[in-house]
Amino acid sequence: MVDPSWDFYRSLLAVLEHGSLSAAARALGLTQPTIGRHIEALEQALERQLFTRSQQGLLPTETALALKPFVEVLSSTSAALLRAAADDRDVVGGTVRISASEVIGAEVLPPILGRLEDDYPNLAIELSTTDVIEDILLREADIAVRMAEPSQEALIVRRIGNLPLGLFAHRRYLDRWGTPTDLAAAVRHRLIGFDKQSAYIRTMAKRHPELEQLRFSFRTDSNLAQLAAIRSGVGIGLCQVGLVCDDPDIVRLMPDFELPLGTWVAMHEDMKSSPRCRVAFDALVEGLLAYMKRSSDAAHRRSANPGTAG
């Protein structure tokens, strides 16, 4: 068997991700016939059919689905190779890819990363905001901000601490529907929560059995959508104290009720000699430690002055 070109595998992954030749072509900036030729050449090289045509479009065969995780590794490794090749040991420059949860990536990291690029104009940032843990060992990201403790070896890990989570609602909602003073009363309110239970929620439910009585009337699997719903006055929801501590219209309920959200920054140990990764890692740690302090201070202020925003 002749080794197929990487371009063929890249086209395969694009078709698997986007569902059609035309969509894959747009994603890669190629023509549809070119993508079609890549798929045909790969099928010939592998001597396996990768897609079947149907009224719903191209359907991947079992062979294509079996290849997908390996092609994803090739893709992330290729991107990491290009980032590493651009490294200059004497100058902080090139691209560093950072993975973080939706909320942290959208609400917390932008000012931290903005200051980082101010300090290092030759540095480019790729920020992947996803609640799916990307694998640093497989080079899906150079650095990750995680809300679950990394367990893999060969990682440099810095624990930031526990970010406080509390229950919040907009004043507009509370003015109309009243302010619950305990979880038993909160059950009768519109509660904002998860469409599907995450590992973190299941863990917290075991530690706090009283959470089992909560029933969500507004459900979404997006943490950003939950935060937006709280800010819009949809109902009562759980969020990081630091995200709303400066909003005078958001009220913390039951200040004694608080959940910890562990936070870590992780990087592959091979990256410690890379200037771009080292400065980004340090900036993330410094910025997140400052954010955690603001969050903890705000939590203490609200506990001392219930019903206030900050």
- CA 273, CA 299: separation in Å to the nearest integer? 38
What pTM was computed for the model? 0.69
* Phi and psi angles of residue 73, each rounded to the nearest 5 degrees, phi first: -65, -40
Which among 293, 278, 264, 282 is positioned nearest to 101, based on CA atoms? Answer: 264
What pLDDT score does 216 carry?
83
Token digits for 202?
């299941």
What pLDDT score does 105 carry?
95
* Phi and psi angles of residue 172, each rounded to the nearest 5 degrees, phi first: -60, -40
What lies within 8 Å, CB to CB, of 104 at 6+ separation is: 129, 145, 147, 263
What pLDDT score does 283 carry?
97
* Phi and psi angles of residue 5, each rounded to the nearest 5 degrees, phi first: -65, 145
CA distances from 22 to 36, 37, 54 (A): 9, 13, 15
Tens-digit pLDDT string for the chain (310 aa)? 567 788 888 898 899 988 889 889 998 888 888 998 999 998 988 888 999 887 767 889 999 999 888 888 777 777 777 667 666 666 788 889 999 999 999 999 999 999 999 999 999 999 999 877 766 666 678 899 998 888 777 789 999 999 999 999 999 999 999 999 988 888 889 999 887 666 656 666 666 666 666 678 898 988 999 999 999 999 999 999 999 988 999 999 998 888 899 999 999 887 888 888 999 999 999 999 999 998 888 777 655 555 554 4
CA distances from 144 to 101, 126, 209, 280 (A): 9, 12, 31, 11
Q: What is the 3-state composition of the chain as percent helix, strand, coil, each rounded to the nearest 5?
A: 50, 20, 30
